[in-house]
Amino acid sequence: MTAKDAKASYKWAKTHRHLTKEDWAKFAWSDESLIKQDSDPCQLWVFRQQTKHEKYDPKNICTEIKYGGVKQIIWGCFYSNKLGPIVFIDGSVNSHIYISVLFQALHDDGTTDIIFQQDNAKVHKSKLTEEWLKDSMTQNGFSIMEWPAYSPDMNPIEELWAHLKAELHRRYPDMKSLQGTQATIKQKLQDRLWEIWWDIGENVFDSLIDSIYAFPFPMERL
């Protein structure tokens, strides 16, 4: 993160530091995530010195973790203690695909008076997307949150993705060893993700909103 980006994140946090828990519940948090059939939901961190010798030393190279199999891009959102739809995306995401996803999400239940969050990915900020969002805002009564660049740590939906992936492998330990055609495995993956998504309880959302509201903001040290 550059000094400019850090300053923008600080400005955002300072602007929003007085919001109440009820205020935060009006924000709709969104993002895409990549789900891998055989990925381990637990991340492994390796710390080493940045030298050529250390980088390629056999003891610092993990050969056992291999990612492959079926992959699925998903888009989702939540606000307050309510889930928005989960959308499965095939192939890469461009502006047209992203707009079709937003159309499903922002028109499905007729919810108004929300503040929609999205990061600054190119397809999110393209001219085509911004024009569509501007028209949709007027028609459907929601607004767009200005989001600082390079701030995934500030988006609580990242924790929701972690919960979804961990729960997938907890409920279905056979996920890594599924056999069949790619289409068959992908359909099973989608069915399982759909089931887990709609099973997420209110306690999870409450903890996510609490994490934003209760997060300390040490103004005197910034």
Q: List, for residues 192-216, the tens digit of each pLDDT value.
A: 999 999 999 888 888 888 777 655 4
DSSP H or E stretch at residue 187:
helix 182-199
Residue 40 has what pLDDT? Answer: 58
* In the predicted structure, residue 218 carries a pLDDT above the cut 90: no
Token pair recorded at residue 15: 């602007």
Contact 132/102 with Cβ under 8 angstroms? yes
Query: How many helices and strands in the chain, by DSSP H and E?
Result: 9, 6
CA distance 209 to 23: 10
3-state secondary structure of 50: coil
Q: What is the mean pLDDT of the chain?
A: 82
Q: List, for residues 30-83, the tens digit of each pLDDT value.
A: 999 999 887 655 555 566 666 767 766 766 665 444 445 889 999 999 887 788
Domains of the chain, each with CATH number or no CATH: 18-216 (3.30.420.10)
CA distance 185 to 214: 41
pTM: 0.78
Contact 117/158 with Cβ under 8 angstroms? no
| 221 pLDDT tier (thresholds 50, 70, 90) | very low
